[in-house]
């Protein structure tokens, strides 16, 4: 019975790991992909806009 108690934790971890991987793969794409892509694009546009604003204000001060 010691071998059962020794193998149980790694087996449980493996099952949970496979479950997590399946959830990750299933949630890639689909209906939410366009919303997620739009959110990332908006965030990148804000950062780029802030960077350009900072660069132009730094040139104006010099």
What's the CA angle centered on 52, arms 47 and 58, to 5 degrees?
125
pLDDT tens across 9-60, in order? 999 999 999 999 999 888 787 777 788 888 999 999 999 988 887 767 666 6
pTM over 0.85: no
Cα(37)–Cα(42) distance, rounded to whole angstroms? 9
Cα(62)–Cα(1) distance, rounded to whole angstroms? 77
Tell me which residue has tokens 């892509």.
Answer: 37
pLDDT for the residue 58: 63
Q: Integer distance in angstroms from the first to the last C-alpha of the chain?
A: 77
């Amino acid at each position: 019975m010691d071998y059962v108690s020794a193998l149980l934790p790694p087996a449980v971890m493996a099952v949970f790991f496979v479950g997590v991987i399946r959830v990750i793969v299933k949630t890639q794409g689909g209906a939410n992909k366009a919303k997620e892509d739009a959110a990332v694009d908006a965030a990148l546009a804000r950062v780029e806009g802030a960077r350009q604003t900072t660069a132009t204000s730094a040139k104006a001060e010099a």
